[in-house]
Structure 1
C-alpha cells in the first residue's frame, strides 16, 4: 500500500478537526484558536516531508514609537508593504500550507491599516495570526478590535514603559497573551521577582529572550548564564500549573540545566520559520545578516527551497546559537545540572 498523504492519516478523534502540517517524518496538528499543537510520529508519518515553513514572522514595518538603545532598526524607514500586498502574500502562503503569521516590527500597531489586515486574514484565510507589540498603543478599543481575530498578543516589556496597566487591560479582555523579556546582566538579579509579578498580573506565558548583537555588555557571561539556568529551573517547577516559562532557542546549550520539551533540537530558523522584512526580503531570523528579495509567496517559497544551506548558516552578530562559542569570547560550555 502506498504511503498516505497527511490528510488521510488516521488520527485520534480529539486531533481530527485540527489543521495538519507535514514535518520531516512527523505530522503536526494545530488549532489556530487555542494554539494547541500535537506532533504525531510513527511508521505512518515516516514518509512525510515539509513543503513550506510552518510560521512566517512578518516584520511589517521598521517604524516604532520607542527608541530602545539595543535596537538596530532604522525606525525612520518606510515599509515597502501596503496592507493589500501583505494580505495577498499571506493568503498565498496559507494556500501553500503555512500555519501561522506572527507580526512584529518595529511596532506593528503603527502600520497603517494593521487592525483591518488582521481581521481580513482571520476571516479569509486559515492562518493563526499573532503579534508582538510594545503595548503603548494597546488601549481598550484596540484590544477589542484585535481580540476576536488573533491567536495571541505578545507584549515586549521595556523598562521605560508602564507594562502593568497594559497587562491588566489584556487580562480583563480575555485575549490570549504572553510576555517577552530580554535578559541582560543588569536585569538578571531581578528575574525571579519580575516573573512572579507577571503571574500575579495574570500573565500565563513568559518568554525569556537572549540578546543578539554587537554590544558585549548585554550578553551574559558563563557564570550569569548558569545563574539564569538555575533560576529558570526553580521558577519552572514553582510555577507548574500556573504559568509557562520559556527560553528563547538562541540560548542553545547554555541552558542545558533547564528541561526541554523537545530535547536538544537544532535552531529552526530558516526551516520551520522564516522572516519577511519590511523591505520585502526573506531572512532566517530577525537577527540574521542574510537577506533575499521576495515580493510574492512564490518568491518566499523559492528562497526557502533553494537557499536551505544559506538559511541554516550562523548569523554574524554575537549571540547566535549556531556559532561556536555563540560568537562570544571563550569556548562554548555545557552547564552542569543545578538544583
Structure 2
C-alpha cells in the first residue's frame, strides 16, 4: 500500500482514490454507473513547459524545434497554484523535450510543493544526474520516447533503472511502424524487464500527413496478437487508441479502459499559458483560454471548447466525425466513437 488520497467529489457524484506513490487511480460512482466527468476541475493536467526539441521530428504534432520557447518559471508557479485550488492530482510535463527546460528541477519540486505529482516524457536528450535524482525524489513516473536510433532510449532505461525509477516506453503507432512495434515487444525481452510498461500512442495528423493514420486490417490485428503474448512488462494505450482496443478480445481488462478524458477529467496547457481540452487542439483551434486573464476553474467549467467537448462525448452521434454505426455498435459503451477531434478511428 502506498500513500492514498480519498476524495468525495460530491458535485460530480463519485468517490476517487489516488495512490500518490504507485499511481493507482480508482473512481467509484455511488450510483453504480461510470462517472462521466469531474465538474469541479481536471484531475490531470498535461502541461507543455517548452516547445524546444533538438530532434525536430517530421511527425511531431507540435512541430517542436530548436527555436521553441520555454514557459517562464513564474508562469508555471501561477498555473500550479491554480491547479492545486482546482483539485488537480497529477501533471504530465511535456513539450518539446521538457527536461531541457532550464528550470526543470525547480518545476518538479514546485509541483510537489503544491501537492501535485509530476511525471514527464523525455526524448533522451539532456538527461543529467541532477535530473535523475530529482525524478526519483519528486516524480510518480517518467517515460522515454522510442524511435530510431533507439540508443538514447536504451541509455535512459539503463540509468533510470540504476536510480530505481519507474520508467515507461512511449511508442507512437502509425500505419508504417507496426513491424517495429512488434519487434520491440518480441526481440527486446531483456530490456523490457527493466521497464514498467510500454504505452502505445495513436498517431495524430496535425503537422503531418493523414496517410500515416492507423487503419483496420491484418497488420493491426497481428500487432494486437503480439500484445496479448507480452508477459515481462505491462502494456497500455492512450485513449486515442480506444476504437482499436476491441481487437484485443478477451485479452482486454475492460475495467481498466476509459474513453477520451479531454474536458471530462483532463486538460492541456501550452507553454504560452493557453488552456485547451486536449493537447492536439493546440495548433488546430484558436479558442485557447488565456490563463493570465481567466482562472483554470472558470475555463474548465465555462470555456466554449470544454462545453462542446463534453457534449460530443456524452451521447452517440455528437462527435465531430460522427459515425452512424456507433448508434448500434456493442462497443460504443466503451469507446464512445473514439477520438472526437481527428478522423483516426478504426470505424471511419
Matched, 1:22 2:14: no
Matched, 1:212 2:200: no
Q: Residue 151 of structure 1: which of 140, 156, 180 is its match?
A: 140
State the distance in 1 between where 2:301 and 2:225 align: 38
Deviation at 1:104, TM superposition (A): 0.1
SS of 1:206 mapped into structure 2: strand
User: Is the Cα contact below 8 Å between 2:3 and 2:21 reproduced in 1?
Assistant: no
User: Is the Cα contact below 8 Å between 1:90 and 1:297 reproduced in 2?
Assistant: no
State the distance in 2 between where 1:108 and 1:204 align: 21
Matched, 1:173 2:150: no
State the distance in 1 between where 2:135 and 2:212 align: 34
- Cα separation, partners in 2 of 1:315 and 1:119, compared to 1, 3 Å: farther
- Cα separation, partners in 2 of 1:139 and 1:200, compared to 1, 3 Å: farther
State the distance in 1 between where 2:64 and 2:320 align: 19
Alignment of 1:3-42 (within 5 A): 17-20=4-7, 22=9, 24-42=12-30
Q: Which runs of 5+ in 1 are unaligned?
A: 1-13, 334-339
- Cα separation, partners in 2 of 1:297 and 1:42, compared to 1, 3 Å: farther
User: Is the Cα contact below 8 Å between 1:93 and 1:297 reproduced in 2?
Assistant: no
Deviation at 1:196, TM superposition (A): 4.2
- Cα separation, partners in 2 of 1:199 and 1:92, compared to 1, 3 Å: farther
User: Is the Cα contact below 8 Å between 2:221 and 2:247 reproduced in 1?
Assistant: yes
Task: Count residues with an aligned counterpart.
Answer: 309
Residue 76 (structure 2) aligns with: 86
Residue 10 (structure 1) aligns with: none
Deviation at 1:142, TM superposition (A): 2.2
Q: Residue 47 of structure 2: which of 55, 58, 75 is its match?
A: 58
- Cα separation, partners in 2 of 1:328 and 1:168, compared to 1, 3 Å: closer
- Cα separation, partners in 2 of 1:66 and 1:299, compared to 1, 3 Å: same
Residue 9 (structure 1) aligns with: none
User: Is the Cα contact below 8 Å between 1:61 and 1:278 reproduced in 2?
Assistant: yes
Runs of 4 or more, structure 1, over 6 Å off, are 44-48
- Cα separation, partners in 2 of 1:236 and 1:15, compared to 1, 3 Å: same
User: Is the Cα contact below 8 Å between 1:25 and 1:45 reproduced in 2?
Assistant: no
State the distance in 1 between where 2:320 and 2:143 align: 25
Deviation at 1:161, TM superposition (A): 4.3
TM-score normalised by the chain length of structure 1: 0.80
Residue 216 (structure 2) aligns with: 222
SS of 2:121 mapped into structure 1: strand
Residue 263 (structure 2) aligns with: 270
Choose 298-307 or 38-47, whichever is displaced more: 38-47
State the distance in 2 between where 1:198 and 1:173 align: 21
User: Is the Cα contact below 8 Å between 2:241 and 2:338 reproduced in 1?
Assistant: yes
Residue 8 (structure 1) aligns with: none
Per-residue CA distance 1:200-246 (angstroms, 9 max, x = gap): 221121111111115133212221xx53344335433541xx32111
User: Is the Cα contact below 8 Å between 2:168 and 2:196 reproduced in 1?
Assistant: yes
Per-residue CA distance 1:103-158 (angstroms, 9 max, x = gap): 00011122221111212322x22101111111122233421232111111111122
Residue 131 (structure 2) aligns with: 142
